[in-house]
Chain A
Amino acid sequence: MNSEKSLINLVKKGDKKAYEVLVLQYQDRLVFSVYKFLKDYELAQDIAQEAFVKAFKNIEKFRGDSSFYTWIYRIAINTAKNLLSSKARNSEVYDDEIMELKLSESAVTTENPENILEAEELRSKMMDAIQSLPDDIRTTLSLREFDGLSYEEIAKVQNCPIGTVRSRIHKGREILDKTFSKYNMSNLEINSI
């Protein structure tokens, strides 16, 4: 079963609702990837947005050789590169915009900007929450999320029915959702599980 392929097929048939599901699924990852490239959070959002619109317009060209995310990632990075090179072409005139670009270029080499730190902190909190999950649920969820195993493979590894894998993964996500729904993102405090 390949749900992503099903979603893409729906989009190709003109189902915009299916595309919204993909946008909701991949927007954070894409913004993060573009941000790593540009080191400008606002610009990363604009580029990601543009990439999603471009991808929709060209969805017929998506053959499914790679995952949808890989495809849209390439679109986003090419859009970002085009933006940088078009700015570079006009670099003879040193106006405010160019100065901004220069700063942005220098920022590319700077490690750990504020947003990256925030992402790391969020990750750390999430890992703490995962560590607090019951053993069987944590192991099953980790095999899925970090080892990328399919449900069938997990069932073999854990020697349990595939239905158990389904319910454990769902239960784990449910607990994480409850934990993080109480989470106030402004102060990065997490409630105890």
Chain B
Amino acid sequence: MSKTLEQKLSLLMDGEITPFETKRLVDEIHTNSNFKSLWLRMNKHKAAMHGELLDHNLDLSQNIMSQINNLSPTNSETTKTWLNSDFFSVTYMKMCCYLIGFFFILSLPLLNLSFPTSNTTSSNQNILPLNNEALLVDLGSNFNGSLKDFRITSSSSMEANYLVPGDDKSLRLKVFFDNIPENEWLGTINKGITVHTRSGSTPLILNLSSETLPNQRLIKISNTFLENK
């Protein structure tokens, strides 16, 4: 046993050692039985100095460590340790991520959602496909309209029907995300009022139309989107 290491045990006992050296000593105590025995004796001497040593041969460490090693993970409340265990290695975590991704893709048809096309922007990907309903409800709140139904018409557009309060009449709202090619959104519009606005940081093109609401009313509603832009 090297003198330096022995001296470091003395420093460990007095709390005068760096975290790095502490780790090194812990490993050394675990692997070197002579070193472990010296650590045990040094602490017994300390206890004896203070009149706290009842039995020089007492060593409960084996029993204690065996009980601790037999603890099931559910019994152990050291919840953070799983991150450090071999079982939850980086490879294992990666595998979990792949599986979650795989099942998510499989579940898309069930959710009636579609992937954005490869040329969609990141802002669009943030909204479609998960937050579409929330966005529509939010847009409806501009004119106190309650969302009746909606559908995804393409990777960059949606169509929703609202009930306008007071008038009890329907309003159709076509929502286009800004990345949609102009000819594409122009091609789907044949009536109503179209405005350029944004929801948060996302630019939107909205087309409002109604079979029952007068144009004046539609203009008023479309203005609310511009005011809130």
Most buried by B among A33, A118, A127, A173: A173
Task: In the complex, identify which listed stretch (A12-20, A78-86, A88-96) lies at the interface while the others stay far away.
Answer: A12-20
Q: Does B22 contact A (CB under 8 A)?
A: yes
B84 to chain A, nearest CB (A): 4
Q: Does B75 contact A (CB under 8 A)?
A: yes
Q: Does B89 contact A (CB under 8 A)?
A: no
Q: Does A123 contact B (CB under 8 A)?
A: yes
Asked if A23 and B7 make an inter-chain contact with CB atoms under 8 angstroms apart, the answer reads: no
Asked if A10 and B22 make an inter-chain contact with CB atoms under 8 angstroms apart, the answer reads: yes
Q: How many residues of A contact B (CB 8 A)?
A: 70
Bound: A144/B16 CA distance, A: 12
Asked if A120 and B51 make an inter-chain contact with CB atoms under 8 angstroms apart, the answer reads: yes
Bound: A35/B60 CA distance, A: 15
Task: In the complex, identify which listed stretch (B65-73, B139-147, B158-166, B170-178) lies at the interface while the others stay far away.
Answer: B65-73
Map CB proximity to A onto B45-80 as digits: 1 under 8 Å, 0 otherwise: 111111111111111110111011101000111111
Q: Does B191 contact A (CB under 8 A)?
A: no
Interface of B is mostly: helix
A28-B47 contact in complex given A10-B22, A10-B26, A181-B41, C-beta closer than 8 Å = yes
Asked if A1 and B58 make an inter-chain contact with CB atoms under 8 angstroms apart, the answer reads: no
Asked if A45 and B15 make an inter-chain contact with CB atoms under 8 angstroms apart, the answer reads: no
Bound: A113/B221 CA distance, A: 92
Task: In the complex, identify which listed stretch (B32-40, B199-207, B209-217) lies at the interface while the others stay far away.
Answer: B32-40
Q: Does B152 contact A (CB under 8 A)?
A: no
**Contacts of A14 on B, CB cut-off 8 Å?**
78, 80-82, 84-85
Asked if A19 and B54 make an inter-chain contact with CB atoms under 8 angstroms apart, the answer reads: no
Q: Does A100 contact B (CB under 8 A)?
A: no
**Contacts of A49 on B, CB cut-off 8 Å?**
60, 63-64, 67
Asked if A27 and B22 make an inter-chain contact with CB atoms under 8 angstroms apart, the answer reads: no
CB proximity to A under 8 Å, residues B95-127: none
Which positions in B face A, CB cutoff 8 Å?
6-7, 10-19, 22-23, 25-27, 29-30, 36, 38-61, 63-65, 67-69, 71, 75-82, 84-85
Which positions in A face B, CB cutoff 8 Å?
1-4, 6-7, 9-21, 23-29, 31-33, 35, 41, 45, 48-49, 52-53, 56-61, 115-116, 118-120, 122-123, 125-127, 130, 144-146, 150-151, 166-167, 169-170, 173-174, 176-177, 180-181, 183, 185
